[in-house]
Structure 1
């Protein structure tokens, strides 16, 4: 199981305004994340489990290329608190979500915006086109460099009934997980994308919603082995409850 954009393309400035690049002390660019409020980021529990100290992490937002992370309009923030889902299982990757509180608020502008969390009853139908984005490896050789420019790939939501078939991911899925990819493979998340967004444009609402965050996969871009994401509709209530308990500014 890889801790996990393959088959993607460069993202223009201002495309995925909620994309976060998370850097861990001594490890460089390690994971992705999504902006959900001006001072809160969502990422994967398997990222924070490996580096549980908040002071070990730095978040960069507002840039399309890693080489621009120290220049305007990019914004850099230290992390003051990590809330890792207490039910996270480091063997099955179940409940693979963590929240990071920023030491100071982000400035929302043309380059930095939050993504909407879906209501718990929202359905992202099978076949719905969505986008995975990140600075993860471009293939699963284990030695491809991280791209400088943010990559994204258009992939489709795949229902759990399909994804858990015997010749797919079998019994590895839980109801906290969501599959997305292409049946033929080729487009997928890969190492270094972990915790980053699976973003879906919902025409009825006129907004982008976070369907999932990159969790795990078997290899990258293999046929019938789509990427697996933490299913956001399951976690929306946990997210808002956790934030309310730890942030007086959010009521």
Structure 2
């Protein structure tokens, strides 16, 4: 796992922690084919972020996208979450959530953090009329480091270039729409859905996503609508998590929820994720650059 940052040297890098990808509350990974996903065991995906925006006071914060905690100061998410709301001051990142209505959660489990930096991939392209989304990856820097708890801990990054084999069951999580409505509404509870990876060769066929698909993307889901599951369950920007092999596996964020068919469920249109392992260098380089340029070396 590659979430281990070197100790601070020369004021550029920062402290490390080895404990990524190991939830204290074990997720339910036994139910592999539940229609439309299922409610997650509370706090079993402790890196899940509810990214909430409020463009101006007194408008209350509203859940807008998902994200993944990858370091005590950094959230990994999708660039398209910031197309209109692109100022750090608009956002807060909430961790330790299960119920979208915070009053129903364990007292003090939830923590929300303000944002002082948003870095979108410089090659990000979004053309809605062509459904063309490329380099859909972004980093969010938190104003203060996260206090790790039983309910809040980071997920590991995959090895650079890693490609999970077709059929690998991975999980998408989020508060996304559960029914595939055209006008989605946020779910009250955190949901999860197991989605098998569809190989690139299949997913880039004309009947599937064809030339919209890039090697820097992952397809996952079921190929026929009678197996109704998709990344509607996982909001944009949220994690697509796979367990690394082994008896006591660590979880890695292999994908970022990027796009899917209108209405979420469609024949031969699996959900599409940004493949994180294609962007390891970009992630590390931009973290270091931000820390260096901002002088934030705690």
State TM-score, norm by structure 1: 0.92
TM superposition shift of 1:223: 2.3
TM superposition shift of 1:49: 2.1
Higher strand share: 1
SS in 2 for 1:93: strand
Cα distance in 2 between the residues matched to 1:9 and 1:38: 29
Runs of 4+ in 1 over 4 A off after TM superposition: 248-251
Contact 1:30 1:192 (C-alpha < 8 Å) held by counterparts: no
Unaligned runs of 5+ in 2: 1-34, 56-60
Structure 1 residues 157 and 192: alpha-carbon distance in aligned structure 2, compared to 1, 3 A threshold: closer
Contact 2:234 2:257 (C-alpha < 8 Å) held by counterparts: no
Cα distance in 2 between the residues matched to 1:194 and 1:22: 10
Cα distance in 1 between the residues matched to 2:100 and 2:93: 12
Unaligned runs of 5+ in 1: 1-5
Structure 1 residues 79 and 197: alpha-carbon distance in aligned structure 2, compared to 1, 3 A threshold: same
Correspondence for 1:102: 142
Q: How many aligned positions are there?
A: 246
More relative contact order, 1 or 2 (CA 8 Å, 6+ apart): 1
Answering whether residue 47 of structure 2 is matched by residue 13 of structure 1, we say no
Structure 1 residues 234 and 144: alpha-carbon distance in aligned structure 2, compared to 1, 3 A threshold: closer
CA-based RMSD: 2.0
Larger radius of gyration: 2
Which of 224, 227, 242 is the aligned partner of 1:200? 242
Cα distance in 2 between the residues matched to 1:192 and 1:203: 23
TM superposition shift of 1:192: 7.1
Correspondence for 1:247: 291
Contact 1:125 1:157 (C-alpha < 8 Å) held by counterparts: yes
Which of 70, 77, 84 is the aligned partner of 2:113? 77
Answering whether residue 71 of structure 2 is matched by residue 37 of structure 1, we say yes
State TM-score, norm by structure 2: 0.78
TM superposition shift of 1:140: 2.8
Contact 2:192 2:234 (C-alpha < 8 Å) held by counterparts: no
Contact 2:173 2:233 (C-alpha < 8 Å) held by counterparts: no
Which of 267, 274, 279 is the aligned partner of 1:230? 274
* Alignment map for 1:178-197 (pairs within 5 Å): 178-185=218-225, 186-190=228-232, 193-197=235-239
Cα distance in 2 between the residues matched to 1:240 and 1:52: 21
Q: Could you give the per-residue CA deviations for residues 84-143 of structure 1, whole angstroms, max 9, x where no partner exists?
A: 000000112100001000011111111011111111132211100000011111123234
My pick for the range that moved more, 39-48 or 140-149, is 140-149
Answering whether residue 197 of structure 2 is matched by residue 162 of structure 1, we say no
Cα distance in 1 between the residues matched to 2:175 and 2:286: 28
